[in-house]
Amino acid sequence: MNTQQELVLLPSHGAWNLHGSAAARFSQANDYLGYLSDRNYSPATTRAYGYDLLAFCRWLHEQNLTIEAVDTNTLINYLKFCKQSSVPGRPGPNVMTLDGQRADGYAPATVNRRMAAVSGLFTFLAMRDPCLPNPMPKGQESRWVSSAQRSGLLGHLATPAARSPLRVREPRRLPRSLESDEVIALFQGLRTYRDRAMAGLMLYCGLRAGEVLALRIRDVDIGGRWLLVLGKGSKERRVPLDVDVAGVIQTYLLAERPESDEQRLFLVAKGANRGLPLTAAGLRTIFRYHREISGVPDGHPHALRHTFGSALAASGVDLSIMRELLGHAHVNTTARYIHLVPAHVKSEYDAAINRQKQSH
């Protein structure tokens, strides 16, 4: 049984759907993906859910199961399968290397994302037919919180929504920001105004890579030094534009940007696609090249955004302002950057110790 040929994920009429000889057995997954599109989920999000459901449906097909036959025990077995599965070309997480270290397989975040997609599928099916049992076990009920705690200045006090116990514990790692010498080395290798502008928007304005690519010419107010940014969930926010980055963008528009009717700011500069909007794959290729020539292996687009966030925290910028600039939906996400400033932690520690010594 070649499951990979019998089930594939392909774009269809602006949405993502399962196709292949076995797709009819899992039509509920396509119904769910269509529901996500109807709710205006971005194509990238729908695609990510699609690949997670593709992995689930392929596993069900190999087990000779249908979605209707799934129960809680089936999901427990699928979680075990995900945890033991290996990345192509690498051993699974339960395989030990010769030096006694555990080998790397799928990351816990990947496993949890797959389980979240499966949970969404069954929540959708139960919503469509309340008589259907939901095999995904519910997490512990959270206490009641007021609407003021769910958002605004008290948002960090809100209890997170209950999550299913079918999850893998994830290590909590702090975002990695770049050192000043790494930033200098990376920027010295940027030869075009386009690449300098994109990197500058991430480093000095805190934009995500997708937000940079989504910028239109009319979203950039060079004179007023403002950006209109379309963030996650199609949420717009206004972000101040650094004066030096504004100058680079202006030079790019006047001297380097190809002639095109496209409204997107950043376009492909060479090749058959010259004049078309730069894609996410193209942006990754650009940064992969610059990481190699600059000798900065951690010079990813998101590392530049993390560097911006940690710089705000180091400067003592108010948490609510940081959240607005970074476009975070939850203040807890913004609060992580406070822990990225060991110099502030040390200074506060020294001040507290000095006060304690003076009191004796």
What is the full DSSP assignment across 225-239? TEEEEE-GGG-EEEE
CA separation for the pair 355, 344 (Å, rounded): 16
Could you tell me if residue 356 is inside a domain? no
Catalytic residue among 49, 106, 193, 337: 337
Q: Quick check: 327 and 235 in contact, CB under 8 A?
A: yes
**144 falls in which pLDDT band (50, 70, 90)?**
very low
Residues 189 and 270 in one domain: yes
pLDDT at 99: 45
Asked if residue 210 and residue 328 are part of one domain, the reply reads: yes
Q: Is the residue at 203 inside a domain?
A: yes
Q: Which of 238, 302, 346, 349 is catalytic?
A: 302
Contact 329, 232 (CB under 8 A): yes
Give yes or no: residues 187 and 134 share one domain: no
Q: Are residues 193 and 111 in the same domain?
A: no
119 and 27, same structural domain?
yes
Residue 92 to residue 111: CA distance in whole angstroms: 13
| Residue 24 in this model has a pLDDT that exceeds 80 | yes
Measure the CA–CA gap between 316 and 343, rounded to whole angstroms: 12
pLDDT tier at 248, thresholds 50, 70, 90:
very high
**Residue 164: inside a domain:** no
Q: Which of 61, 257, 290, 305 is catalytic?
A: 305
Is position 208 annotated as part of the catalytic site?
A: yes
- Confirm whether 156 is a catalytic residue: no
Q: Are residues 225 and 321 in the same domain?
A: yes
300 plus 232 within the same structural domain: yes
123 plus 222 within the same structural domain: no
- Any catalytic annotation for residue 305? yes
What's 34's domain CATH number? 1.10.150.130
Q: Assess whether 190 and 293 both reside in one domain.
A: yes
Phi, psi of 238 (to 5 degrees): -100, 130
Write out the two tokens for 311.
């710089």
With H, G, I as helix, E, B as strand and everything else as coil, classify residue 186. Answer: helix
pLDDT at 96 over 60: no
Name the pLDDT band for 100 (thresholds 50, 70, 90).
Answer: very low
Q: 201 lies in which domain range?
A: 180-343
Residues 128 and 222 in one domain: no
User: Mean pLDDT of all residues in the chain?
Assistant: 84
CA 243 to chain centre: 28
Q: Do residues 105 and 86 lie in contact, with contact meaning Cβ atoms separated by under 8 Å?
A: yes
> Is 0.85 topped by the overall pTM?
no
The reply to whether 337 belongs to the active site is: yes
Specify the pairing of strand 236-240 against strand 220-221.
unpaired
Task: Tell me how many domains the chain contains.
Answer: 2
* Of 232, 235, 238, 274, catalytic: 232
Catalytic residue among 208, 257, 300, 306: 208
CA distance 147 to 265: 39
Within a domain: 322:
yes
330 is catalytic: no
